[in-house]
Amino acid sequence: MPRAAMVKVPPCVCGVALSLLLSATARKSTAQVPLAKSPSDSLIRVGKDRSLSIDLGTFPTVEPYLAADPSNAAHLVAGVAVITKPDVSERSCAALTSFDGGRTWTRHDFPAKECLDPWVVIRPDGSAVLALISRSELLVFRSSDGGTTWSDRPISFGEHHDHGTLAIDTTRGSFGGSVYVVSQQIVRDTGDLERFAAFVARSTDAGATFGEPTRVIVNNLQMNPMNPAVLSDGTLMVPLSDYGRTTPGGDFAWLARGRDWVITSADGARTFSLPLFVTEACGRSFPELAVDASEGYRDRLYSVCNDSSFAHVYLHISSDRGERWSAPVAVNRGSGPSPYVRTAAIAVNRDGIVGISWYDARNDRDESKGKYRCQEIFFTASVDGGRTFLPEVKVSSAKNCPNTAANGQVAERWPAGGDYHGLAAAANGQFHLVWADSRDGIYKLRTATVALRPKANRGQKP
């Protein structure tokens, strides 16, 4: 996490009293959400997993994020990080673009030093926007041709950022077409104390320029914004995690129990609500938020994460715009008696089918390996708004064992190939996955397509 010289906070900082934030805890729903299995596992069809058809060199390639064009099922763009020095001190980022549904890809390298956290979105007109962190500087690049070429000069939002993410407002409301960039930024408040702010900026011209950002400080913890989402009326949802804090000596310390929240904005990210409580079940992971845009479950929110022991992939559901959330539901029911799971991802397709994928070590029972157990990618889906799930299926065709000489310290930093992997729902309803895989002794990218047979959609009701 960046720890450089601090910057002063402009007048747009939004302060929220910690006591008000804690009172939101009472909103948590105690209702249980059942997780049942379909009688047939043939409803999920997994395509052959394959190496990406592009040369990324002889370096570990990690942390892919994948976006699908909402108007063109064949158009995909991924952002990836390439680790060019064994101690992880040198890193670069690239965009990979496909116009044939992931069969072939082109590559574009960005002129960003010590780069991490690539995140990308595709607008309905086919243009793409990519955010990344260069050292601690948040940069945004734009491609008007969907990833074939990219802007030479990125937009810079300054330093002291971490985990930049993006979202698009695809509605026809007052803020329709907006591109939002969100990150954590270290700032100093009016008392000259170090704070961790949710940084949010909005673009009204497809990512070419951005307006004055808003910085939201909700408490004195190391609040980490996650990926935003937009509801059907244009309301912006920004998730927050507070699993860490700064000690009096200035060091980082894990909280005994992390918490997740969401803040909302109905005015284009100018002001934000009080934090709405989500859960205390997640820990030491990057939760992902998804919103359902289908007619049957419109605006239903889904948040997926793993717990601090890496034993469960948990799903949380909200049907009232984030006010109340379900109790955590363990999705990885087949992980066995000694589960080890990481880095869950979520996407919702045009039909309201919820897809969840994750790294799972169920087929490597050697617990002495700890976090270096060999893992595989698993996937499951819900056709009834998260109430029940189909039997989980294995997507990857071989074990991914991170602890290799070629991976070096990359395996220590990212034992599951990054803080996230790529899962996106294409315009035709199929799910595409891209993940970092070490089956050949070094992290390389692999991809696969998952689809549901028509039988899976029968009887779908809100």
- Binned average pLDDT, 10 residues per bin, the chain of 462 residues: 37 38 35 38 86 84 97 98 91 97 95 93 97 97 97 95 97 95 91 88 97 94 95 98 86 89 98 97 92 96 96 97 96 95 97 97 96 98 94 96 95 95 97 97 97 65 42
| Structural domain contains residue 168 | no
Q: What pairing do the DSSP bridges indicate for beta strands 431-437 and 422-425? A: antiparallel
Residue 42: the pLDDT is: 58
The reply to whether 338 falls in a domain is yes
CA–CA dist 111, 63 (Å, integer): 18
- Alpha-carbon distance of 459 to 213, in angstroms, equals 45
CB 131 within 8 A of CB 150: no
Amino acid letter, residue 283: G
Domain span at 377: 29-51+281-462
pLDDT at 196: 94
For residue 143, give the nearest of 199, 64, 78 by alpha carbon.
78
* Residue-level pLDDT at 192: 72
| CB 426, CB 400: distance < 8 Å | no
DSSP state of 177: T
Three-state secondary-structure class, residue 179: strand
* 336 part of a folded domain: yes
Handedness of CA 400, 110, 67, 243 (dihedral sign): positive
Q: Which residues contact 184 (CB under 8 A, 6 or more apart)?
A: 1, 161, 162, 163, 196, 197, 198, 199, 222, 223, 224, 225
288 within some domain: yes
Neighbour tally for 412: CB within 10 Å: 14
**H-helix segments, 346-450:** 409-413
3-state helix, strand, coil in the chain (%, to 5): 5, 40, 55
Q: Does residue 435 sit within a domain?
A: yes
23's tokens: 């009172």
Domain count, the chain: 1
Q: Which stretches does DSSP call E strand in 123-207?
A: 128-134, 137-143, 155-156, 161-168, 179-188, 194-203
Classify 315 as helix, strand or coil.
strand
Residue showing tokens 């890193």: 91
Q: Which pTM does this prediction carry?
A: 0.90
The Cα 173–Cα 74 span in angstroms is 27
Pairing of strands 14-15, 214-217: parallel
User: 79 to each of 87, 94, 114, 131, how far by Cα in Å?
Assistant: 22, 6, 15, 9
Q: Could you count the other beta carbons within 10 Å of the beta carbon of residue 247? A: 8
Does a structural domain hold residue 456? yes
Residue 430 lies in a domain: yes
Asked whether residue 298 is domain-assigned, the answer is: yes
Question: What is the phi/psi pair of residue 370, to 5°?
Answer: 60, -130
| Residue 250: per-residue pLDDT | 80
- Burial label, 323 (beta-carbon count in 10 A; 0-12, 13-18, 19+): middle
pLDDT computed for residue 56 by the predictor: 76
